[in-house]
A and B are shown apart, each in its own frame.
Chain A
Amino acid sequence: MKEETAIHVKNLTKKFGAFTAVNTISFKVKKGEIFGFLGANGAGKTTAMKMLIGISTPTSGEATVAGFNVNTQPESIKKNIGYMSQKFALYDDLTVKENITFFGGIYGLTRKQIKDKRSQLVEELGLQKIVNELVSSLPLGWKQKIAFSVALLHNPKIVFLDEPTGGVDPITRRQFWEMIYKTANQGTTVFVTTHYMDEAEYCDSVSIMVNGKIEALDTPKKLKEQFKASTMNDVFLKLARG
């Protein structure tokens, strides 16, 4: 049972002064699951995620990520997770190859491991033509796909994706989700925050945060049944509008 839970959150709370950004949230994410972490702007998603990836200390409550306690072992957590955000993913002024080498390096891969990983990525993503190009010259979709692969370089147990596909064209977006499915199928847990409801439909289970609390938590199918809605977007609208 302990092996099967990738993330275990219990009464996690974060306060900034008098303002409670995250209000006693609890949930579990199974190993190899695609977990959608949804909510409107300012609902507390980012704050909650920062606590889970070990860069922010909770005010109270507990959470275990990849078997490590967020309060006491944040450094161990960082070694065992991958992280990618829409805001920052890769260095624009480095080539694809240099980015892979750099991120491989900071995750402590040996030179040989980096080289192997790089040829593997080039092969899988079909990067032969662009591997020596500057990242800034690539279309957004490519950047995001490469960034995701880079986040997986060190074979993390869990990968956190912060709004990974915003603004990407529909075909590339689907290629991205195919990569996510593949990753999850290999046993890596995928934790996705987004406020794009169409992405929620792809997840195995979904939590919706409203004003710092988790107001709904289930599979997309069950949530839609529960709220008598045809899409996750409608579920969200019903939840937010009460």
Chain B
Amino acid sequence: MSQATLTMNRTRHALAPWARIAGLTLCALLTLGPVIWTVSTSLRTPAESFDLPPRIIPTHPTVDSYRGVFDQIDVWLLALNSTLVTALIAVGQMITAGLAGYAFARLEFRFKKPLFGLVLATMMVPLQVTIVPVFLVLKSMHLTDTLLGLIIPAFPTAFGTFLMRQYFLGMPKDLGEAAMLDGAGPWRTFRSVYAPLATPGLAIVGVLAFNYHWNEFFRPLILETSGQNYTLPLGLVSLQGNLGTGSISVVLAGVVLSMIPAVAVFLVGQRPLREGITSAGVNR
């Protein structure tokens, strides 16, 4: 390595890193700022919620706003609805995607290619475009304004199927062939050999489904008309609408409560979530 290159490298690394890390820290604070502000304001008294400059540590910390939000809206009901919808969709998607992904990866049957093409093609169709007929289909099934109306249409997942197919294709074929030679039928081969290996792939499908449907707003807004079927995001948006800007800390307390499960999944399942989001190419 020449003398010139050495000097160049040294100057570049002596100058850049601190500025770079300082810049990144500032950007990270800007990114997390709104969340930090939400948490700290929810712990302030209503009188202090408009304080500027915003204090990160409240001067008179109080959980009154949290009591307030339980008084104003039925948080338990909203949380129960959100939990039911999200959990059932996540489990349902893991089952449908696991089964269909396995069939496309490891079973031979007629029309395999066109059927897989159909699944892939539907990944391109945004829900917003088909929502009117979807609403009418659900109405004909008497499923509008029910939680089932949110749950059932979300069971089939084109992306999850695609992901699980890739996942099963990545497993050695010899495993299944050995089981077949030992006399295992197609079901036994799936149940005892491949299914137990699929857990990490299923975790991605489940975590992605949780993240998307816990936060989902568009479908609940359209399908759920009576308050008893509201999910958390819907309840919070209507809470803000009802209160105007008066009880800001109460609304924020609700937002914080609704974030807790999402943050928990973020902390526990960050890896599958990251893998899922980047391989999905669809953040929805």
Please determine whether chains A and B interact with each other in the same assembly: no
- Chain B residues engaging chain A, CB cutoff 8 angstroms: none
